[in-house]
Structure 1
Amino acid sequence: MRIVIAGGHGQIARRLERLLSARGDEVAGLIRRPEQGGDLEACGAEPLVCDLESAGVAEVARHLAGAHAAVFAAGAGGGSGADRKDTVDRGACALFADAAEAAGVRRFLVVSSMGADAGASGGADPVFAAYLRAKGAADDDVRSRSGLDWTVLRPGALTDAPGTGLVNLAASTGRGSVSRDDVAAVLAALLDEPGTAGRTLELIGGEVPVREAVRGV
C-alpha cells in the first residue's frame, strides 16, 4: 500500500513513517525544505518537497497520484502565530483533502486535537484558541466531503514518553495524555480498518491494546 503523509517531517509523521515502512508499505512524506529529506529517508520514506502554504491543488494531487491513502499530520508548530494556525492547520488540510479527491485517493486520515472546535473562544491563550478553531474548521471541512473515506483522530496532550501500545480510543474519552509513539501506532492501525471511516475519535493512553482498540470502535 502506498501512503502519502502531509507534514512528513513532524514528530508523529516520522514515527508513522518508520512503522509503515517496517511493515512493508510504500511511504512518502511531504516536506517544505529539501534539507529535511534525509530525516525521512532514515525513516524509510520518500521525501516529496511541497509547501502546502503555497502549492496548488494540481501540484499536490500529482504527489498523491497512485496512493492508496493520505494522512494529514501537518501543523504550524510551536512558536507560530494565529495566522499560521489558519494557513497550515486549516488551509493546508483543506488543500490536501482537495488534492486527495482530485487524485482519487479515498482513504484520508486527519491528526487533529482534542478540543478542536471551529467556535473556540479566545480564553487565556488566544493563539491556542486560534489553533483549536483552525483544527475544528479543518475537521468540519473534511467531514463534509462525500469523496473521502475520512477518519479524524483527536489525541489528548502529546508526550515523548515511550509508547505502551495501550490506549483508550472512543468517540469521547475525557481528558488525558498520550505518547506520540502510540498516536502513530493508532494511525497505522486505522489505515487497516476501513470500518473506521466516517468516525471522529478521541485518543488517550489507556489499557486496551492498539489493534483491539481500533477494531472495537
Structure 2
Amino acid sequence: MYATFFMLSHLYMCIYWHVVLQNEEDIQMSKAGRAAIGTYFKYKYLADLDLVQRTAFKWTIIRPRWYNAKAGTGKASIGRTLLKPDISREDAAHALAYLSQREDAAGLAIDIVGGVTPIEEGLDAMIKRGESEFPL
C-alpha cells in the first residue's frame, strides 16, 4: 500500500458545481440536493479543490453518489456517470480497498455508482485512461 490520502464522500459534491446532467431525474436530484445541503456541497468542493492542488503527498478521491445498505455485487459504473443507481457501502469500500493498492491511481478523482462492470475492471480502465472526474 502506498501513502495516499483518500477522500470518500457520502454525496457527490460536484452535482452542485460541475456534473453534466444526463436526464430529468438527474436534474431533479441535483435541485433537491442543492436546496437541502448546498452549504455542504460548497465546502466539500472547496476541500477537494484544495486537495487536488497539493503536491506534498499522493491523493486519490473516490466519489460514490448515493449509498444503500444492500449487499455488495462487486460491480459498478465508474467514470463519468449518472447520479443513480446508488451503490452499496460494501461496493464503495471494495473500490476504496482496491485503489489503496494502486499507486497509479494517484491524482485521480473517480466517480462511482451501482452498475454492471466488475469493480476492478472499471477502475483499471479509469486508471488507464488517466482522466480525472474533477474540474482541475
What TM-score does the superposition give when structure 2 sets the normalisation length?
Answer: 0.72
Give yes or no for the alignment of 1:175 onto 2:83. yes
**CA RMSD, aligned part only?**
2.2
- Length, aligned pairs only: 111
Correspondences of 1:109-188 after superposition (within 5 Å)? 109-112=6-9, 113-116=11-14, 126-170=35-79, 172-176=80-84, 177-188=86-97
Cα distance in 1, alignment partners of residues 35 and 14 from structure 2: 14
**Structure 1 residue 116, shift from structure 2 partner:** 3.1
**Structure 1 residue 205, shift from structure 2 partner:** 0.8
**Structure 1 residue 167, shift from structure 2 partner:** 0.7
Contact 1:189 1:211 (8 Å CA) reproduced:
yes
Matched residue, 2:113: 204
Contact 2:8 2:63 (8 Å CA) reproduced:
yes
Contact 2:5 2:59 (8 Å CA) reproduced:
yes
**Structure 1 residue 126, shift from structure 2 partner:** 4.7
Residue identity matched to 1:111: L
**Structure 1 residue 174, shift from structure 2 partner:** 1.6
**Structure 1 residue 149, shift from structure 2 partner:** 1.1
Matched residue, 2:131: none
Residues 209, 117 of structure 1: alpha-carbon distance in 2 compared, 3 angstrom cutoff? closer
Tell me the SS of whatever aligns to 2:39.
Answer: helix
Q: Per-residue CA shift, 1:36-93, capped at 9, x if unaligned?
A: xxxxxxxxxxxxxxxxxxxxxxxxxxxxxxxx53xxxxxxxxxxxxxxxxxxxxxxxx
Residue identity matched to 2:96: L
What TM-score does the superposition give when structure 1 sets the normalisation length?
Answer: 0.47
Identity in percent: 29
Contact 1:109 1:153 (8 Å CA) reproduced:
yes
Contact 1:155 1:204 (8 Å CA) reproduced:
yes
Tell me the SS of whatever aligns to 1:141.
Answer: helix
Residues 156, 119 of structure 1: alpha-carbon distance in 2 compared, 3 angstrom cutoff? closer
Higher normalized contact order (CA 8 Å, seq sep 6+, divided by chain length): 2
Highest Rg: 1 or 2? 1
